[in-house]
Amino acid sequence: MFTDEYFMKMAFQEAQAALEKDEVPVGCIVVYNDRIIARAHNLTELLNDVTAHAEMQAITAAANMLGGKYLIDCTMYVTLEPCVMCAGALAWSQLSRIVIGARDEKRGFINKGLSLHPKTEIVSGILENECSALIKDFFKSKR
Amino acid sequence: MFTDEYFMKMAFQEAQAALEKDEVPVGCIVVYNDRIIARAHNLTELLNDVTAHAEMQAITAAANMLGGKYLIDCTMYVTLEPCVMCAGALAWSQLSRIVIGARDEKRGFINKGLSLHPKTEIVSGILENECSALIKDFFKSKR
Residues of chain A where predicted confidence (pLDDT) is lower than 50:
none
Q: Is the Cβ pair B88, A85 closer than 8 Å?
A: yes
pLDDT, tens only, A114-143 = 999 999 999 999 999 999 999 999 999 988
ipTM of the complex in this document: 0.96
Q: Residues of B annotated as binding site?
A: 53, 83, 86
% chain B with pLDDT above 90? 97
Residue of A26, A28, A45, A49 best to disrupt the B interface, most CBs of B under 10 A = A49
Q: Is the Cβ pair A92, B113 closer than 8 Å?
A: no
Catalytically annotated residues of A = 55
**Residues of B with CB below 8 A from A113's CB?**
113
Q: Among B76, B92, B93, which Cα is nearest to B39's?
A: B76
Amino acid at A102: A
Count Cβ atoms below 10 Å from residue A22 Cβ, excluding itself: 12
Report chain A's mean pLDDT, rounded to a whole number: 97
Residues in contact with A15: Cβ distance below 8 Å, sequence separation at least 6, in sequence order: A25, A26, A27, A41, A54, A79, A80, A131, A134, A135
Q: Is the Cβ pair A50, B63 closer than 8 Å?
A: yes
How far, in Å, CA of A94 to CA of A142, rounded?
Answer: 36
- Is the predicted pLDDT of residue B69 greater than 90, yes or no? yes
Q: How confident is the model at residue B1 (pLDDT cuts 50, 70, 90)?
A: confident
Q: Residues of B annotated as binding site for Zn(2+)?
A: 53, 83, 86
Q: Please report the pLDDT score of residue B143 as a whole number.
A: 85
Average pLDDT over residues B9-18: 98
pLDDT, tens only, B97-117 = 999 999 999 999 999 999 999
Phi-psi region of B34 (alpha: psi -120 to 50; beta: other; left: phi over 0): left
User: What stretches of chain A adopt beta strand conformation (E)?
Assistant: 27-32, 35-41, 74-80, 97-102, 121-124
